Amino acid sequence: MIEVAIYEPELLSVEMLRVALSEETLKERLRAIENVKYDVRASAVESLFSGDRHINLNDPRYSASLLHVAKTSSRSHDAGFEAAQTIQRYEKKNERKLNVAEQVGKLVVLSILDNKFAGLHTETGILQQVEIDARQHNISGAKDKDVLRKIWSTYRGVVHLGMALDFCEDNPQDGINVFSIAEEFRRALSENGPKGTTKPYVNPDDQIKFSYISIT
């Protein structure tokens, strides 16, 4: 399992982190997440030095920020370019696949909560349910079980963040932390398996865990 630290400024870029997860390999996802983090830092520094605010450049906090910008300007430029490419791939093909995988994840969690612990690949399993629903609603890319297997295999380790975003949107509450919800979903997927098996729905080694770090 790969653990990614999330700091408070990055709470405003959760949607972009989800877009980063739409990349198809772990290496690409981690690079895309890093790009989001660079963009957040660059935006924060740009905001700090914009407007009519008087900044004392002798203040160590601000001088350190300027030094950081200078040292990472090349990487920040690359991050912006790569992020644009990630968004392009997301909008062209990966959004649909990630959405499908997140729907599978939701059905898995519902099955766990209902104490059914349904299988994924059986004749009446969860993938079959998604396939039938896709055919009824003419959802492209989810009408074939082999395609569904591939999509789930590709994205099963990262579906928990998108699932948490949808949950928070459907259940707006003050103070709710999307990363706490995402962690609950991640653990449900990795600590439970289909009835009659000992293998979890998602191997923890396939997952990216988001750990929110509050700095007070």
Closest Cα to residue 122, out of 42, 19, 57, 195? 195
Closest Cα to residue 165, out of 189, 185, 149, 146? 185
In the predicted model, is pLDDT for residue 60 greater than 70?
no
Report the percent of the chain where pLDDT is more than 90: 59
Q: Residue 13 and residue 22: Cα distance in Å, rounded?
A: 15
CA dihedral 123, 125, 131, 133 (to 10 degrees): 120
In the predicted model, is pLDDT for residue 76 greater than 90?
no
78, 31 in Cβ contact below 8 A?
no
Mean pLDDT, the chain, whole residue set: 86
In the predicted model, is pLDDT for residue 70 greater than 70?
no
Write out pLDDT tens, residues 145-202.
888 999 999 999 999 999 999 999 998 876 788 999 999 999 999 999 999 999 999 9
Q: Residue 78 and residue 38: Cα distance in Å, rounded?
A: 10
Question: What mean pLDDT comes out for the span 86-109?
Answer: 95
Q: Which residue has the higher pLDDT, 52 or 173?
A: 173
List beta partners, residue 215: none
Residue 42 banded pLDDT, cuts 50, 70, 90: confident
65-97 burial, b for 16+ CB within 10 Å, e for fewer?
A: beeebeebeeebeebeebbeebbebbeeebebb
35, 89 in Cβ contact below 8 A?
no
In 57-94, alpha helices (H): 60-71, 73-89
In the predicted model, is pLDDT for residue 47 greater than 90?
no
Residue 144 banded pLDDT, cuts 50, 70, 90: confident
107, 60 in Cβ contact below 8 A?
no
Identify the top-confidence range among 60-64, 70-74, 143-147, 190-194: 190-194
Output the six-digit token pair for 135: 């055919």
- H or E element, residue 8: none
* pLDDT value, residue 58: 59
